[in-house]
Amino acid sequence: MHEEHEKVEGVIGYIPQDDVVIEELTVYQNVLFSARFCLSNLPLENIEVQVDSLLKELDLYEVRHMVVGNPLKKYLSGGQRKRLNIALELIREPSILFVDEPTSGLSSKDSEKIMVLLKQQARQGRLIIVNIHQPSSFIYKLFDKLWIFDKGGYPIYAGNPLDAILFFKNLANHIDADECECRACGNVNPEQVLEIIETEKLDESGKTTGERRFSAEELHEIYREKIQDQIIPQYASGTPIASRFVKPSVLNQFKVYFSRNFKAKVSNLQYVFINLLQAPVLALVVSFLTRYSTDEGYFFGLNRNFPSFIFMSIVVMLFQGMSLSAEEIIKDRNILQRESFLRLSRLGYLSSKIFFLMGVSLIQSFLFLIVSFLVLGMSGLFIHYWLILFLTAVFANMLGLNISSGLNSVVTIYISIPLLIIPQILLCGLIVPFDDLKSGNARNNLVPVIGDLMASRWAFEALAVDQATANKYDASYYDIEREMSEYFIKGELIVPKLSNLIQSVSYNRVVKSDVRSLPRNIETIRHELESLDHDKLTAPFPDLAKVNDQEYNRTLGDSITAHLSGLRELYKKLYRSAEQYKDKITNDLVARMGSEELLRLKMEQHNGSLASLVINERADELVIAGYNRFHVKVAPIYRNPSSRLGRAHFYAPVKQVGPWYFSTLIFNSLVLTLLILFLFIALYFDWLKKVMDGMGNFKRKA
């Protein structure tokens, strides 16, 4: 069974006590999909014929097109639902069938019908093993063999059901120990067996003591002496048990899973309606609340709430994606348990869920953007927005599938959703500025590691940077404005701050003040000189090698200051030249489009509030001192990252990996894809469930 389990695949079937059906599908569809997982070697037409034949045999043919429904909205009777559960296993004709409490919750008439049905299957050569409590006389007589297990799993009887009554009556020394059924009506009372087993000892006053007359261990010893030792084992000839079970390939399993899931979903009109309506309704709410109008009317360029719209779009995708997928696996848990006997592919099952959710998320993100673009008067970059919001929704889908697979209740799942969403909201870069986080990166330009772990950070940055640089208006000016920003930062921010630092260092060396910080400050001077000379706009500072703690003196400081003064004048000249080139671009656009059309284009494409955000106009400090260098805090949209490992400051226009540069839109899309792949791997290997199970085992041991 365990070492060569592949030899018994399809041989064993299991019918659980509870209904394990897909409630949104019809009776026929439930059996058909079960058959397609087991009889993949047969054409679909042949499978459909066999399904019809089985439904007729089980008296389900007349209701084959009825939806199964749930316990609160029943379309089938209890007996019909139980026969459907039996049909799901019988369609593949297993040789051994385990049935758990087949009469539970049924009327006496339905119970007898179910047991007669199982008896018929036994007569066809199947081994039917039934777990049952308190059977009626009629049902009791249907069994060929009876096994009784006492507390602790001890076997205490095996044999003919009627002989069991005689066996236990003789054991208890009953007067009528030779009678097993009523002489008048022929009925038997199976309860007698349980009553004898549970008989309690009496004390001297004739009262029960609460202690059993025969313990489970004693009855087991009697069983071993009188029954087990009398059983002569019969060994099979070695011929393997025939099985009709033929498992589909992983691809075909994916197709069956996807088809089953799709039909179950679309049959629920409320599910379809809500999921199609949710995105446009939320888009209306978000876009109307973020549509800021002036006294002169609404203009996209003057909408100061537009960054909030981008942020809320990402939040909506996260909530939609997680709520869409949160119950996808946990509600299938019983079905997966039943189908575990078939050893179907987990990859096929998960892929079907993921592709379906991706399809829904693709539609939802499209509908959300269509409405939002119309309300906010946005134009252009639709595909870029769609890509990022879709990837964000898929990330949320994968997150939801992980908790759906790893947690053990729907309540726990929905409680955990805010725990996963709120960090995404806070650490997207807009609510809590990354510079305010008290971490090792708080005094440099890189986004903190905890921020880089958030999908919302990559999504928000991608949309903000792309909207600010790739729209039809700003794209014409971006390159020249980037040059102007570089010249301004170096000439008006870096050089003056560096000159002040040189004066401070020169003074402190003379008066022997602040000695501990001198080496670090001198290293900062050296690093910034190297950085400025890297542009090769002028000859490098000739005495750079002397800028160290041992050789630095006031004369050297004066030489550096003079060198910086020349650089500053050069940067001013370059800035004026770039400014003139920008004016030329404007004049060319006016000549080609007209001034009114250019102004209209700016109001439709350029959003002032977003531009202010990505330039960081509200920065408290324009340049801050790091460990051995300066860190610029303004105009992040115009500065290349300092890291070659893909990390960067927030709103960087590009990302660098080794010698290669990637636009922020492309790179952030790739990062979101990698996060999705990571969550898929975690889902496939069920890491969350293993962690939760491990914590549960540790708690029990503690």
**CA distance linking residue 68 with residue 47, whole number of Å:** 21
Alpha helices in 207-345 (DSSP H): 216-226, 250-266, 269-289, 306-325, 333-339
Nearest to 465 by CA among 628, 303, 679, 641: 641
- Token reading at 507: 């003074």
- Token reading at 262: 């799709």
Q: Which residue has the higher pLDDT, 620 or 156?
A: 156
The pTM score is 0.90
* Other Cβ atoms closer than 10 A to 32: 23
Give the helix/strand (H/E) hosting 654. strand 654-657
The answer to whether 354 and 680 are in contact (CB under 8 A) is: yes
Checking if the pLDDT of 688 tops 70, the result is: yes
Tell me the three state secondary structure of residue 696: helix
Q: Which CATH architecture has domain 11-133?
A: 3-Layer(aba) Sandwich (3.40)
What value does the mean pLDDT of the chain take?
A: 90
pLDDT, position 207? 86
The answer to whether 487 and 575 are in contact (CB under 8 A) is: yes
What value does the mean pLDDT take over residues 352-377?
98
Radius of gyration of the chain (CA): 38
Checking if the pLDDT of 360 tops 80, the result is: yes
The answer to whether 451 and 427 are in contact (CB under 8 A) is: yes
Checking if the pLDDT of 441 tops 50, the result is: no
Q: What backbone phi and psi angles, to 5 degrees, belong to 130? A: -115, 130
- Token reading at 578: 């770039």
Residue percentage of the chain with pLDDT more than 90: 64
What angle in degrees, to the nearest 10, is found between the helix axes of 27-38 and 250-266? 170
The answer to whether 347 and 250 are in contact (CB under 8 A) is: yes
pLDDT band at 438 (very low <50, low <70, confident <90, very high): low
pLDDT band at 405 (very low <50, low <70, confident <90, very high): very high
The answer to whether 137 and 189 are in contact (CB under 8 A) is: yes
**CA distance linking residue 428 with residue 549, whole number of Å:** 42
542-552 pLDDT, tens per residue?
888 888 888 88
Checking if the pLDDT of 666 tops 70, the result is: yes
> Degrees (nearest 5) of the Cα angle 99, 105, 111?
65
- The HSE-up count of residue 528 (CA atoms within 13 Å, CB side) is 34
- Token reading at 325: 């997928």
pLDDT band at 436 (very low <50, low <70, confident <90, very high): confident
In the chain, ranges of CATH 3.40.50.300 domains:
11-133
Encode 539-577 in three state secondary structure.
CCCCCHHHCCCCCCCHHHHHHHHHHHHHHHHHHHHHHHH
Residue percentage of the chain with pLDDT more than 70: 96
**CA distance linking residue 417 with residue 423, whole number of Å:** 11
Give the pairing of strands 155-159 and 146-149.
antiparallel
pLDDT, position 232? 64
* Other Cβ atoms closer than 10 A to 364: 25
**CA distance linking residue 658 with residue 406, whole number of Å:** 38
Checking if the pLDDT of 245 tops 70, the result is: yes
DSSP string, 441-472: TTTSSSPPHHHHT-HHHHHHHHHHHHHHHHST
Sequence-distant (6+) residues with CB within 8 A of 228 are 155, 158
Give the helix/strand (H/E) hosting 481. helix 474-488
- Beta bridge mates, 623: 632
pLDDT, position 378? 94
